[in-house]
Structure 1
Amino acid sequence: MTIQAAPPATHRFGLRDFAIVVVMNVLWGLNIIAVKMAVTEIAPMTAGFLRQVIVFAVCASWFRLVPGRTATLALLGLLSGGIFYLVINLSLSVATNIGALAIAGQLGVPFALLLAIVVFRERIHWPRMLGIGLSILGVVLLVFDPSAAREGAGLALTALASLIWAITSLIQRRLVGVPVLTIYAWVGLMGSLVMAVVAMITEPVAMRAIPDLPLRTVGWVAFSAIGSTVIGQGSMSWLLQRHSVSVVTPMTLAAPIISVFAAAYYFGNPLTLLMLAGGGVAMLGVAIVTIRTARADRLEGKLA
């Protein structure tokens, strides 16, 4: 999830920046494996609870009541830390073709733009409309792939999670200037509370078994919490403070590609021609939307 920041100072994009981009994409790309293993070896809601507890523990020292932003932070934490992970963990727990879910997860970008059009009356031109159409078409193509079509429940839940992610991306527009670790302290706190209640009701046995979990299993959760959320999101925030959105945002497009191929390799999911075509079309649409939106933001910044 991209955190919008104040206009960055001008810095040369050097080797250190490129290394951070690589690490960020690899962490985000491999995260889908960690989450799938966590929800399989623990239980979906309990795994989500543990993830948010770790996020809060890492970011707790940054927890603040921010005047005029506290209600927004609480709402973001409820949606992003609680409801989003409730849905996404459930989707991964019922699916076997994880690569297909990685492709469907790209619906968050066009969903966010569509919500911006409805909520903020944002005006867009035909290139981004084309990008939205291609993104949706690419996911629709998965329905015609027998290996992916069996994942109907998982794909539907992933699409719902993408919509929730899109809503949270709009909420984050109201949090410009709030430190990213403060934001994720709220996400961890609210997510822990939501997931604790849900897990205690639906997975009481798994919750009681937390103290007996092997380190390997906890490691999957820690990778998601620290690697994907804290380090991944922290890297994105750091890059946005040094470079423009139009430079940084397109560089995140490698993450879903890594997810698809990593899931295919690790879980032995088939990569059929139709699935690759659907993924390619979806990623092309996401790339168009991402790059054109970044350019629009840059132009607005120059006119401001």
Structure 2
Amino acid sequence: MNVLWGLNIVAAKMAVDLIAPVTAALLRQAIVLLVCITALRIIRGKMLALTALGLLSGCAFYVAVNLSLAISDNVSALAIAGQLGVPFSLILAVIVFRERIRWPRIAGILLSFAGVVLLVFDPAAANEIPGIALTAIASAIWACCSLIQRSLRGVPVLTIYAWVGFWGTAGLLPIALHWEPATMRDLGSIPLAALAWVAFSAIGSTVAGQGAMSWLLQRHPVNLVTPLTLAAPVVSVVVAAFWFGTPVTWLMAAGGGIAMLGVSIVALRSASRTNLDGGEKR
């Protein structure tokens, strides 16, 4: 799962370099829908949440992510900034669910943001500020989606992603037609290599990676699974630096380390609290 997620940053970047970013996102969601379509069904009492999740996770999130990748060269910096989803989720939980947090998780939130802020002062990432900002927006959207998923307990994983693919495709289609009409007219001429990168993101990262996460959380305690997922951003940074030849400076390493420390504190403390408060396996 971590390897799939880590490799996905290369696949996503290659896809937006070969295909216009919104069209690449549209094709990704269309593949997700195609793979999961047999699980597409009406779930009574859950359709509002499934629609909101689909439009946010399948559409808005990928517009922000793909645009950030399209305008950035140093994707290692984006991989680090992408970890803001964890502290954003906690902040939203405090606002929406009035969840109480103590100083360790507050410190984790502050460290996460401090690590990303350090990237702004790194000369190697100085030109990536717009991409980092878009990644932060995507992380906030991801955090909103994580809260929506709380209301989808009991809904089969493939059904969730079938609706994500459906609403993602439906939402991205008019945007791609408006913003990228030339690419949409020439869909038939997109190279197979470009489609292969998109397919890897759709099947490897979304269906297999997210599906594996759901499978693990149904069978093991949260505080056992969550720490293991922290390897994914490390894989992303290393793979991106190797594949694209972008430098990982000492300042970027320091910022990444501080951000990961903050994310680790938030994730571990949140997982422990979840188990103590009711033994939930999510």
The answer, yes or no, to whether TM exceeds 0.5 is: yes
Q: Which amino acid aligns with 1:73?
A: L
Output aligned runs, 1:105-144, within 5 Å. Answer: 105-144=82-121
Shift of 1:116: 0.4
* Structure 1 position 302, deviation (Å): 4.7
Match of 1:42 in 2: 19
Distance 1:218 1:302 in 2: 42
User: Residue 152 of structure 2 aligns with which residue?
Assistant: 175
SS at match of 1:135: helix
1:62 is aligned with what amino acid? A
Deviation at 1:249, TM superposition (A): 1.2
Write the distance in 2 (CA, Å) between the matches of 1:181 and 1:249. Answer: 21
Secondary structure in 1 matching 2:202: helix
1:78 paired with 2:55, answer yes
Instruction: Determine the structure 1 residue equivalent to 2:207.
Output: 230
Does structure 1 residue 294 correspond to structure 2 residue 271?
Answer: yes
Find the aligned partners of 1:238 and 1:152 in 2 and give their Cα distance. Answer: 36
> How far did 1:212 drift?
1.7
Aligned to 1:9: none
Runs of 4+ in structure 1 deviating by more than 6 angstroms, as ranges, are none
Partner Cα distance (2:5, 2:152) in 1: 23
Aligned CA-pair RMSD: 0.9
Q: How big is each residue's C-alpha offset from its partner over 1:39-59, in whole Å with a ceiling of 9 and x where there is no partner?
A: 110110000000000000000
Q: Report if the CA contact (8 A) 2:119-2:125 is conserved.
A: yes
2:218 maps to which residue?
Answer: 241
| Percentage of identical aligned residues | 62
Distance in 2, matches of 1:298 and 1:195, equals 38
| CA deviation after TM superposition for structure 1 residue 194, in Å | 1.1
Match of 1:176, as an amino acid?
R
- Structure 1 range deviating more: 107-116 or 210-219: 210-219
With structure 2 as the length reference, what TM-score do the two structures score? Answer: 0.98
SS in 2 for 1:150: helix
Partner of 2:123: 146
The normalised TM-score by structure 1 is: 0.91
Shift of 1:207: 1.1
> Residue in 2 aligned with 1:65?
42
Give ranges in structure 1 of 5+ residues lacking alignment: 1-23
Deviation at 1:134, TM superposition (A): 0.6
Residues in 2 aligned to 1:122 and 1:293: alpha-carbon distance in whole angstroms: 11
Please state if 1:214 is matched with 2:209: no
Residues 97, 302 of structure 1: alpha-carbon distance in 2 compared, 3 angstrom cutoff: closer
